[in-house]
A and B are shown apart, each in its own frame.
Chain A
Amino acid sequence: MGQIKDVRELEDPAKLEFQRRQWRAQRVAWGILVVLVLAALLGLFGPGVLSGVETATGDGALRAEYHRFVRYEDPTRLELQVRPTGGEELRIWLSREYVQGSGIQQVVPQPESVEAGPDRYTYVFRLENPSGPVSISYELMPVRMGRLGGQVGLEGREAVQVGQFVYP
């Protein structure tokens, strides 16, 4: 835009038309922003109603709860409900790709030991009551962006699929 030498040049129809189009574009943009905020409220960009996932194995021995949409370096959780099937030891494994991408910060309760295998990590817990249900919580802080998937299972049993998307 060149220099304006006379204020009346501002009444130029082309400039006014530009202004009107700009206003229209802004209104549309506001609408889009409102939709984005509503989507965020519902949980499309992180925790929220649409983000919560609950999945279980066919025999119901393992149930997992997590958020489908998580964010890079933003704390989140993988909650497991386990119905042990005898024995004082509970062995839960997570696939290697999931352990590497999810950035496990802490496991509550703390496992007695962790065994690293070529494609899975096994967390060993000692049970006080071998028949009662147990909750185990993995506190995560995803360290990879994009799709993050893997499996969680009780050793020797069926596993559940975990599928998440990590926003930047």
Chain B
Amino acid sequence: MDSVFRALLVYLFLLVLLRLSGKRSLAQITTFDFVLLLIISETADTALLGRNNSSTHAFLLITTLVITDIGLSLLKQRFPLLERLVDDVPLIVVQDGKPLKDRMSKARVDEDDVLSAARELQGLERLDQIKYAVVERSGGISIIPKEK
């Protein structure tokens, strides 16, 4: 009983916290984001395991986490609203080479981020070569180049 509740609690807590922190928060943009992710996982480990050393407890935790995730993904398929709530929605931040400043600042993305993604993904040089830049649900930026 305790194992299942612990797993559910941590799952729910992380889900809510990471959703509220915004999509760019842990998109592993910098080395520090990555380190922060490691620290969070270490801390969550304590919350999950507690003083408990038994393998049964560990197996139950893993099973509960996996089954909760599967269950949620099945529910998300059925209820689009839930999917938006849990997974966020993609957002266009550059349209026809023009940055949408308001959205960019809200999404905590700047021109440098967009250009960096444009260079890495498409080998583009300037903003005006971009047709669309989209902040995806994962927090990454995808680039659609203008046709030549």
Contacts and interface: CB of A to CB of B under 8 A. Distances in A.
Contacts of B4: 37, 40-41
Given A37-B4, A40-B4, A45 B56 contact: yes
Contact of A46 (B3, B51, B53, B63): B3
Interface in B38-70: 51-57, 60, 63-64, 66-67, 70
Contacts of B56: 45-46, 71-72, 167-168
Q: Which size bracket describes the interface of A in this complex?
A: 20 to 34
B67 A74 contact: no
B52 A71 contact: yes
- B interface majority secondary structure: helix
Nearest to B74: A30
Indicate the size class of the contact surface on chain B: 10 to 19
Interface in A1-54: 30, 33-34, 36-37, 40-43, 45-49
B120 interface: no
A94 to B, nearest CB: 23
Interface string A73-114: 111000000000000000000000000000000000000000
B1 A72 contact: no
A49 B70 CA distance: 26
Given A30-B70, A46-B57, A168-B56, A75 B3 contact: no
Nearest to B67: A33
B147 interface: no
A167 B60 CA distance: 12
Contact of A45 (B3, B66, B67, B70): B3
A42 B1 CA distance: 6
Contact of B1 (A33, A43, A74): A43
B112 interface: no
B53 A74 contact: yes
A168 B70 CA distance: 27
Contact of B54 (A37, A40, A74): A74
A41 to B, nearest CB: 5
A43 B60 CA distance: 12
Contact of A37 (B52, B55, B63): B63
Contacts of A36: 60, 63
Given A72-B53, A74-B57, 12 more contacts: A33-B63, A33-B66, A36-B60, A37-B63, A37-B64, A40-B1, A45-B60, A46-B1, A47-B2, A71-B52, A71-B57, A72-B56
- Considering the complex of A and B, which 8 residue pairs feature the smallest CB-CB distances, nearest first? A71-B54, A48-B1, A73-B53, A167-B56, A72-B54, A74-B54, A33-B67, A74-B52
